Amino acid sequence: MGNGLFSQLDIGKRSLMAQQAGMGVAGHNVANVNNEGYSRQRVELEEQHPRRSKFGAGVDIEAVGRVTDRFTNERLIGEQTRLGNLDVREKILLKLEQIFNETEGTGLRATLNEFWAAWGDVANQPESELFRAELITRTNLLTRKFGEQAKELDDLRTQLNGRISQDIEVINQLSLQLARQNMSVQQTDRGHGEANDLFDARESTLKELSRLIQLEWFEDESGLIQVTVGSGWPLVAGRRANRLEASLKNEELGMFRIRGIDPQGISRDITDEVRGGQLKELFNLRDQTVRGFSGRLDELAAELAFKVNQLHATGTGINARHGRLRSSFALKPDALVRPLPFLKDGLFRVHMVNENNAILETYEVEIKAGRDTLPDIVNRINAAVGDPSLFRTVLNGDGSVTLESGGPFPFVLGDDETDFAVVMGFNNFLDTLRGARDISINPRLEREPNSISAGKQLVPGDNSVALKIHALQFLPSMQDDSINFDEFYNGVLAELGLIVQRSQTEKRNQELIVHQFQKLRDEVSSVNMDEEVADMVQYQRGFDAAAKFISTIDEMTRTIIDM
């Protein structure tokens, strides 16, 4: 009987310990009620089977378990990748929208309209020096606006490049943190719930990491998380983290790519293997989106310059005659041996004129596109003239070309079917090699506004060229002469607006998806205060009952002892 009562005391002791453990776990849950990454825990109790007695042996604490849904947690981690994509895309697209902002009337479209209007004023009064000066002012405003927007786009690409480097460093820090958490889990977990909080911390790290870069991950037999990125490159291998490097081994100077480096120093470029996450979107924005809009801006500036120059190059101003005319552009030595690009088959013409602007002689030179080099064309012009004392063409040492009169008679450029004058920059109105980045007005025209070509008949009041340039605003000139300049730029703005709108919609939808999975996760794993309070009451009553049980057994024991 004594042994039976003593075994009952052991049952009571076990019951006290179980209720006390349950109260402790409930308190731990309540303390972490506002911890977003916390998974509530519960005491898992197991009844003790009797050995020698036919009665029960009480209860034992088997483990402290995490209440989680593995599938929901994996989906929640995976959905963070796409949310990371869309979040950074929306932020950068809004910056891009600010660069192309036209709402305040100071954007590129308004400046273009003022440029066309200035040409209209020159067409109305081609002899007016005031309107010519105003045209130069408006042109400088336009070229400056092109340059400012091009620089802002370049600056945005530079910022994105810096963000790429920063994100790679954050990924390295999180990877190292995850490897250390793996180590802590392995050292702590003995299968009874000792590492529960470490498991929560490890899942939170995975969420942060997956937002930055798309992951493939699994938990191995020893409980360690293994993480790969790209086409299987090991980012976290158990207790070891491999580094990513922002590598400058790129065709574009100064632009980063991603290299994976293991402890042995073996590395490979994994940039194109990364399929999602904020880091992948930064590459897409830098190399596709921003570069694409920058290319459209360059296309607009280059085509505007080309179309205006086509009309201006062979026109005449108030001071139309030239004694010497040097090309704005020059060719490098290797380009001199190749066919001069952007030419058309046809005739290039030069007129020799007298002091009354009467044409004395016309020289015509046939040019073959895709075949003639610049030295070929220079030689052919000189051969057509035949007398360098009257007129000659010189290929300068820097690759530019000079047209000059050798005698008393000046010259003007005639109709040019070949675009040779435009390609080399003879009497251009606008100069550009790279589009929006370097477009500028011809410096000679800034010094000599009266040299701006308003007509081409060498008679006062001729406004034929100015009228045609003014009309370019409405003529199809872009995309194989299918749309005009305004329509092209409006299309760029509309495209950007649609991209921003679509990005915002996709982000809202993805936030709803993440919220839904978070809600599912919280329904299973988050702390419910009502449930915890009910559990605490239950544990309290259980503890009181166990104490009463022990007290009763103690009295029974004393009775037996006193007998």
Question: Is 218 within the bounds of a domain?
Answer: yes
pLDDT digits (tens, 9 = 90+) for 478-523: 998 899 999 999 999 999 999 999 999 999 999 999 999 989 988 8
Give the span between the Cα atoms of 345 and 369, in whole angstroms: 5
Q: Average pLDDT of the chain?
A: 91
419 and 369, same structural domain?
yes
330 inside domain: yes
Same domain, 178 and 283: yes
Give the strand pairing for 430-431 and 41-47. Answer: unpaired
Does some domain include residue 342? Answer: yes
Mean pLDDT across the stretch 236-246?
93
Check whether residue 275 and residue 338 sit in a common domain: no
Instruction: With cut-offs at 50, 70 and 90, classify the pLDDT of residue 314.
Output: confident
Tell me the two tokens of residue 447: 């010094």
Q: Which two tokens stand for residue 18?
A: 């179980």
Task: Count the neighbouring beta carbons within 10 Å of the beta carbon of residue 51.
Answer: 7
Does 145 map to a domain? no
pLDDT of residue 273: 93
Give the Å distances, CA to CA, from 290 to 49, 178, 555.
71, 34, 85
Shared-domain flag, residues 172 and 258:
yes
The two counts, helices (H) then strands (E), for the chain are 14, 17
| Cα–Cα distance, 228 to 29 (Å, whole number) | 33
Give the pLDDT confidence of 21-56 residue by residue, as tens digits.
889 988 998 998 888 888 888 988 888 776 655 667
**pLDDT tens across 318-342, in order?**
877 899 999 999 999 999 999 999 9
Measure the CA–CA gap between 76 and 511, rounded to whole angstroms.
Answer: 11
| CB 283, CB 399: distance < 8 Å | no
Asked if the structure places residue 108 within a domain, the reply is no
* CATH code for the domain in which residue 377 is found: 2.60.40
Paired with 60 in beta bridges are 46
Question: Does the residue 300 lie in any domain?
Answer: no
For residue 436, being part of any structural domain is answered with no
pLDDT of residue 54: 65
Chain segment 271-312, per-residue pLDDT in tens: 999 999 999 999 999 999 999 999 999 999 999 999 999 999
Instruction: Kindly give, in sequence order, each residue whose CB lies less than 8 Å from that of residue 61, ignoring residues fewer than 6 positions away.
Output: 17, 18, 21, 43, 44, 45, 46
Residues 279 and 392 in one domain: no
237 & 328 share domain: no
Residue ending a domain, among 369, 392, 426, is: 426
What percentage of the chain has pLDDT greater than the value 90? 64
Structurally, the chain folds into a number of domains equal to 3
* CA distances to 158, 359, 401, 451 from 409, in Å: 54, 10, 20, 18
**Which structural domain, as residue segments, surrounds residue 353?**
323-426
Confidence class of residue 61 from pLDDT cuts 50, 70 and 90? confident
Which pLDDT score, from 0 to 100, does residue 189 have?
Answer: 72
Beta strands in 306-373 (DSSP E): 324-326, 346-353, 359-367
* 24 found inside a domain: yes
